[in-house]
Chains A and B, each alone.
Chain A
Amino acid sequence: MFNRSTKKEKEKDKEKDGLVATHSPLAYPHRLNFYEEAPGHNITLEQFEMWAIDRLRVLAEIEAARVRNVPDGIKNIVNAQCEKYLMLHPNSDAASVELDTERRKDHVSHFVLRLAFCRSEELRQKFVKAETDLFKVRFLGEGTKDRAAFLASKSFGPSGQPISDDDKRLLKNQLMAATSSIKTDTDFESETFYRVHWTKVTDLVASRRVFIRGGYAYVPSASQSSIVLQAFQSRLTAALEMTARALPSLDEDDRLLPIINHFSQGFLAGIAGEHHGGGENSYGETVTKDMIDDMAKKHFPMCMRNIHNALRRDRQMKHQGRLQYTLFLKVLGLPIEEAILFWRESYANDQKTQDKFNKEYKYNIRHSYGLEGKRANYPARDCRSIITGNPPGANESHGCPFRHFSTSNLQSALSALYGVPSLSQDMSDILNAVEAKQYHVACTRVFELTHDNQGMAEGESVSHPNRYAARSRELEREKLARIQDKTKALTLTESDGAPSEDVSMLAGV
């Protein structure tokens, strides 16, 4: 792909790519692209880098939005980002815009990032998710005619076999029960169902939105976009795995490798936020084990409060909870020596537990700090992974209370831990957000309620427990500074002024 093929080969490639379309003057007749063929153009190293960075900006924003769980979906964000960095105009704009240029940039940048993101399972997954989201927004926003033309070019007619009228009548009850979008008999009559293998529509299967029999899913044409999106996703996943296998030949190219590595690291770091290392947080402060009880009360989001309280109550903690909490405390600024002391003291003091601690838990803690095993610098888990991760089983305390508690338990925990009155408007706001599966929003509301109605920075919602804690400490610091200023002013006028109650309360910080 990079300046290596001869001119003739390139011409041939172009034909093969179907980029030279006879019925259209455009090399790229469609705005949408399944990225199945590598671009056959010469590009300069600068283009290589610039274009990739632009695309990376879009993808990083998508990933961030996903983590933040933006209420009205990512559509607006994607559109705004694309307008800045990766604009693709529809065919109707052909007169005024160089369509091929922007489509080529889209095509090339996708392939450059593939190289960067094929190198580990984690990166591949993130890349595929972000790219699929991007494609989805573009696909759903595409005009009917252009979309149909694109689908036809990919031979994406309705996939699978439409079922016969007899079958449809026979299965009516099941089909209607399985497909929540069909509400009335008229809806049903006008709908066509296609029989496709269930593995082709895993998202419909996973959310139990389709009827399945004998290995086949009965997909209404209204859900067709999900077939297309899934095809996009699974083809891209497969292609990335192949690229990964082919990649070592690229290792020889020492011009590209550093750039590529830089991309992927940047993306990962961007996602994980600036919170990485252990021992001290982004303010350069250290936390000691004795500060934790107090900090938990003042600054921890509910997930960590819950773990902390369970640990104090049970004097033990299951693996998942330990992991979630250890990493959180690490990023909070608790150094490894303190962490080990903290955990040892938290556990029951009998011989058996302490033996187990020395043999097993200590290793795990050191592992979390990157001092054992792979010695990786593990980031603390963000809300998304806590919320979507394994739900806590019996006797486990990890997870996100907004997601994993029953309503009544959540309610009493909110009252007990954060003082939210149980019959208040605030409580019902929070519970409504939970009901709508907007767990971050619920969490953000709790933050605001307990911080004089000040929220997270820049109107964000909570996306990471460490951000929650950091913001809470930041607000406290500001408050402390304000109070100090005030007391300074006061002491200047009333020289005998004892520090106000507020200040003594905050003095320990």
Chain B
Amino acid sequence: MPSVEPQMTLAYYRRLFPWKSLYHWLNHQIPPTRLWTHREFAFTLQGDAYLRWNSFKDADDLKREVCRLNPSRFEVGAIYSGRPRDKKTIRPNLFVPNLRELVFDIDMDEYNEVRTCCSGKQVCKRCWGFIASAVDVLDQVLREQFGYTHILWVYSGRRGIHCWVSDQAALALSNESRWALVEYLELVRGGAQSEKRVHTRYKNGLGAMHPMLSEALSTLQGGFSDLVLEDQDCFRSTEGWNKLLRLLPQDDDIIATLREKWEEQDSIGEPSSSIDKWEDMRREIKKISKDSTRKKFLSIAVEEIVLQYTYPRIDSNVSKTRNHLLKSPFCLHPSTGNVCVPVDPARIHEFDPTNVPNIEQLLRELDQLIKEDGTEHHSDWERTSLAPYVRLMDQHVAGLMKEVRTANRAAALKGTDF
């Protein structure tokens, strides 16, 4: 099944993987600190054995081991109070996770019930719009509300995206704070069994929406009509519009009116588009007198529909504890062969998950280089199509390292040891 052969991953690790960038990103400085030496790495070997509790002296040490074991992928974990490789010899009480990037995982799986273009493991540029909208909101919340600045977005290689927050304050978050932050963010609740999955008002009343949600809503509104109404056309099918009606207040007459109209369209085989249906609905709501409670509940329901379709759906377990492992940036996805490349959140809507550096293509580029030069180099990534992504990473890392340098200097001036 794996389309990626072991000799391909090996060549990739030896010649293309940007080890330095990874090291600096995780370590924040040039000389190795505990952020690196006490950091857990886990390997998934070809054949699926899983090795936890590895840790390394420096970047070369990691590279050597990865080239020796040639795992199909590896994951980055927390920074522990002792070296993970010494775990067996440390008393369990004394071996605890201390620091960890704040991480998020958004997976297309969660959107299967709302996307119409693809199903299962597939993803295309169109349904990527759901992920892109999620990134818009989450990136904004993390920056503006929580004040984080060192946020890295990484394509997961197939159907999702990971987010790593490396600010010092984020690294130090307790599990409890992580839990609180996730609760604060999480909105779309309940399993596939649930229909109405979003509630924004205190006690489901008519109060105001929390500012975090109203800001998210205004970020999402434009995307909603492009993505859900126009592109995905979620309400064209009978099933689709029925779902829409189920999200309106169930005792409202508007449902019967709309159902009648749409059933008739279906019966003559001419279902209207989602845009038209959305308009139908808005028109009906407009007819209701302005200050009535009924109208208020309907308007809230409409807002909640927008959120239910486009608000970020994060995998909360990944974010809630310090010791969760997450696939390293620049790993290969074992079945697609795609590189898990960093993505610029400002250009997330342009990103095309079907067109990212892929191992086969990269190796072809390498062969071409060897033909031209006659020799092999290490760190050949600079001359392949991986380069812009490594540069994006390095830019991100530069900001991080600069801040740490300034902080260190300030601390040194104050005479505190760091």
Contact = CB atoms under 8 A, between A and B. Distances in A.
Q: Do A and B bind each other?
A: yes
Interface stretch (B129-137, B140-148, B298-306): B140-148
A199 B174 contact: yes
A211 B211 CA distance: 7
B212 A208 contact: yes
A395 interface: yes
Interface string B145-183: 111100000000000000000000100011011011101
Interface string A205-248: 11110011111100000000000000000100100010011011
Given A177-B214, A208-B210, A212-B146, A409 B317 contact: no
Contact of B177 (A199, A392, A404): A199
Contacts, number: 109
B180 A205 contact: yes
Contacts of A205: 180-181, 183-184
A241 B176 CA distance: 14
B194 A404 contact: yes
Contacts of A212: 145-146, 184, 212
Contacts of B207: 180
B67 interface: no
Nearest to B173: A199
A129 to B, nearest CB: 11
Among B177, B193, B202, B317, chain A packs the most CB atoms within 10 A around the CB of B193
Interface in B107-126: 109-110, 112-113
Nearest to B197: A406
A174 B192 contact: no
B391 interface: no
A505 interface: no
B42 to A, nearest CB: 19
A198 B176 CA distance: 12
B247 to A, nearest CB: 10
B415 to A, nearest CB: 25
A409 B177 contact: no
B289 interface: no
B202 A180 contact: yes
A480 B211 CA distance: 59
A395 B204 CA distance: 27
Contacts of A393: 109-110, 191-192
Contact of A391 (B184, B190, B250): B190
Given A198-B146, A206-B179, A206-B184, A396 B174 contact: no
A426 interface: no
A234 B174 CA distance: 10
A178 B211 contact: yes
B194 A244 contact: no
Interface in A387-439: 390-396, 399, 404-409, 435
B196 A407 contact: yes
Contacts of B197: 406
A399 B194 CA distance: 12
Given A178-B210, A214-B147, A215-B146, A404 B191 contact: yes
Given A208-B184, A214-B144, A394-B109, A408 B210 contact: no
Given A207-B183, A212-B145, A409 B195 contact: yes
A202 B180 contact: yes
Contacts of A215: 145-148, 169
Contacts of A247: 93
A183 B17 CA distance: 57
B246 interface: yes
A212 B173 CA distance: 16
A203 interface: yes
Nearest to A437: B203
Nearest to A245: B93
B370 interface: no
Nearest to B148: A215
A176 interface: yes
10 contacts: A178-B211, A214-B147, A237-B176, A248-B91, A248-B93, A391-B191, A392-B191, A394-B192, A399-B191, A409-B193
10 nearest CB pairs, A to B: A215-B147, A392-B191, A202-B180, A177-B208, A206-B183, A206-B180, A394-B192, A406-B194, A174-B211, A406-B195
Interface of A: 173-174, 176-178, 180, 198-199, 202-203, 205-208, 211-216, 234, 237, 241, 244-245, 247-248, 390-396, 399, 404-409, 435
Interface of B: 91, 93-94, 96, 109-110, 112-113, 144-148, 169, 173-174, 176-177, 179-181, 183-184, 189-197, 202, 204, 207-214, 246, 250, 316-317
Given A173-B211, A214-B146, A393-B109, 10 more contacts: A206-B183, A206-B184, A208-B213, A211-B211, A213-B144, A391-B191, A393-B110, A393-B191, A399-B191, A406-B194
